[in-house]
A and B are shown apart, each in its own frame.
Chain A
Amino acid sequence: MLSIIWIAYRISFRFAARFRSSTVSVCALYDCVPHTRWQTADVDLSLTRHLKLAVGCFRAFGPSNPHGYHVMSQIIIEDLIKQFRVSERDAGMWGAIRGIVKRRYHTINALDGVSFSIEPGELVGYIGPNGAGKSTTVKVMSGILVPDAGRCEILGRVPWRNRTEHVGRIGVVFGQRTQLWWDLPVIESFDLLRDIYRIPRNEYARNRDEFIAVLNIEACLDVPVRQLSLGQRMRCDLAAALLHSPDILFLDEPTIGMDAVSKLAFREFIKQFNQKRGTTVILTTHDMDDIEVICDRVMIINDGKIVSDGTLDELRRRVTLERRLVVELVDNVSEHTIHPLANLASRDGKRIHIQFDPHQISAADLIAHVTSQNQVQDLFVENPPIEETIARIYEDQAT
């Protein structure tokens, strides 16, 4: 049985190889096995190569991949470089006039060799100080900006070369600027987007009804966008960006200016949507709570370079191993009752913050020690605030 399959496989493979320039299947195979040299492939293939090919075929045409042969990372960014020329102008009227005749420019390296890749379904936080290159990267990925050099492939396309095809598969939400029609009731913006994105009627109705229910925007639908509150508008904007079921969602500072309740609802929605639909989410923000709640992975960019890329835990570990034990005591504590391997970070009446390194003393031992020495009302272990972690990374880069 096996040998029959093997022979059939070989024959089909040889057949395909002969027409490799014209058949889709071989192009597909080629994509699956990036390191196979096709010049030598049909002369001699080792068993492992055949296995790789077979696995590639399975991954390519198997049920888990709705897009056919595309099994590369969803987003591939390599050595992206983007410089901006900024004209300098002297102050005052005279400077403005002189600027017309002779302009001086200085260049800014907005992106200085940025590389990363993102797999389908990832929730990625993309952070960095102002002017670090976050927005530039997002603009390149959404096809608004062409880089000076480097590779950018998203869903197998180069965004700026196939702009309309590319943007039809992504959704973008800018926190600062609405995507909806200012003077129109929200529902009419939705209807217009259906026609712009050519969304099939039933898919549109399903998505629209789902988002209206989950994002609780029923009451906003007949209100012109200009009359909505910021929180309402953002929820409507989010729904609008997802109506066409994009594969990738870019959120550029989405929670800016939102109240606490809206923020919580927003984060919850993003997480659930990602779990349910497997949509990749890339989020830029200055709100570390957004990152902490939503993202599995954090990339930090500073001065146009990626300075850190990994899970939130890895990020913390990279910077510091420190943990904190917060203890609320019944009585006041004397300091010598704290374990010698830990130290007091701060105290606030009966609440004390104890700093410790989990490699030197485990949380359990420390808790046992503290509770044996004092009467404890409440206690919990916490990670240092993520802001401190990030700030430390920025500082490390600066020095």
Chain B
Amino acid sequence: MLDSLFIYRRFLAVSLRAQMQYKASFLMQLGGRLIITAGEFMAILVLFDRFDSLIGWNVYQVAFIYGVVNISFAVADAMTTGFDLFGDMVKTGDFDRILIRPRSTALQLAGQELTLRRISRLTPGLVALTWAAMNLDLNWTFANASLLMVSVAGGASLFAGLIVLQATLAFWTTETLEMMNTLTYGGVETTQYPINIYRPWFRNFFTFGIPLATVSYFPALAIMGTPDPLGTPLWFQYTAPAIGIAFLIGSLQVWRIGVRHYLSTGS
């Protein structure tokens, strides 16, 4: 386990150094990203400016949930670039190279690339979260602070799990499945707002189907000390992020089935 973490860190260091080989390209892409991100953020501000509350939620509460979800997604997105590019690896046969190294395939893919420029997506989330935290009267107990961390970790795991599942499909079909993007990008768009604003079937889907709400909405309620309009108990709000981690573990099991399938069919 420690050894895996060590090699993962080594992979990431290598990936960063490789990205620094193309400094100009990196800076331009980072600049471009920041402009796009700033644009997105302006849109949110405009939105909040028009409606300063959303079915009983004030702006800051919404911004808090928005922040948690977006930070989670940004972390997951930057860390799973290897899985994102995986469809191409299967097509070109580069996956064979991963297979002839004595390390787990998932570890190697996760370490394939830590895309720095994707981290720029962290900015809107961080800004929203900070802004919300300054304006909400939050009680920063140790429990709350750790719950925020766990919530982000759970969220990142969940998004990572979704991206792993998406990549796993590439073992069966070499066409990229854009459909899965409705779950990742669509999931971000949906769960960055308090889920009680949606119809029951829709929010049930994002609670029990793809449990995105469990890693952002419920823990955020606990941190903000707001009772849930849907009436979930406090202990659930504290333990809900664990579901994200369980989801990632499940996804990695499915991934292993995919690898076994690949081994028996070839590409």
Binding site for B on A (CB under 8 A): 84-85, 136, 139, 142-146, 148, 160, 163-165, 167-168, 170, 172, 174, 177, 179, 181-184, 188, 192, 195-198, 224
Contact = CB atoms under 8 A, between A and B. Distances in A.
A195 B99 contact: no
Contacts of A198: 3, 102
A167 B97 contact: no
B250 interface: no
A197 B108 CA distance: 13
A346 to B, nearest CB: 44
Contacts of A164: 102-104
A344 to B, nearest CB: 50
Interface stretch (B13-21, B158-166, B199-207, B223-231): B13-21
B40 to A, nearest CB: 30
Contact of A188 (B14, B94, B104, B263): B14
Interface in B1-25: 3, 6-7, 10-11, 14, 17-18, 21-22
Contact of A167 (B100, B265, B266): B100
Contacts of B52: none
A143 B264 CA distance: 10
B96 interface: yes
A192 B18 contact: no
A184 B112 CA distance: 13
A246 to B, nearest CB: 11
Interface of B: 3, 6-7, 10-11, 14, 17-18, 21-22, 93-94, 96-97, 99-104, 260, 263-266
Contact of B97 (A84, A143, A177, A195): A177
Contact of B21 (A136, A165, A172, A183): A183
B99 A163 contact: yes
B102 A196 contact: yes
A196 B97 contact: no
Contacts of A84: 265-266
Contacts of B6: 195
A179 B97 contact: yes
Given A165-B102, A188-B14, A146 B263 contact: yes
Given A144-B100, A165-B102, A183-B22, 18 more contacts: A84-B265, A136-B266, A143-B100, A144-B99, A145-B263, A146-B263, A146-B264, A164-B102, A167-B99, A167-B100, A167-B101, A184-B14, A184-B17, A192-B14, A195-B7, A196-B7, A196-B102, A224-B21
Contact of A195 (B10, B94, B96, B100): B10
Nearest to A165: B102
A83 B165 CA distance: 28
B200 to A, nearest CB: 36
A177 B99 contact: no
Nearest to B103: A196
Contact of A192 (B10, B21, B263, B266): B10
A139 B14 contact: no
A146 B260 CA distance: 9
B112 to A, nearest CB: 10
Contacts of B103: 164, 196
Contact of B266 (A139, A143, A170): A139
A177 B93 contact: yes
A265 to B, nearest CB: 25
Contacts of B18: 181-184
A172 B100 contact: yes
Q: Closest 3 interchain pairs by CB? A: A168-B102, A183-B18, A164-B102
Contact of B263 (A160, A165, A168, A195): A160
Contacts of A168: 102
B102 A144 contact: no
A141 to B, nearest CB: 11
29 contacts: A84-B265, A85-B265, A136-B266, A143-B100, A144-B99, A144-B100, A146-B263, A146-B264, A148-B264, A164-B102, A164-B103, A164-B104, A167-B99, A167-B101, A172-B100, A181-B18, A183-B18, A183-B21, A184-B17, A184-B18, A188-B17, A192-B10, A192-B11, A196-B7, A196-B101, A196-B102, A197-B101, A198-B3, A224-B21
A146 to B, nearest CB: 4
A174 B96 CA distance: 10
Nearest to B22: A183
A196 B265 CA distance: 27
Contacts of B99: 142-144, 163, 167
A139 B7 contact: no
Contacts of B97: 177, 179
A168 B263 CA distance: 18
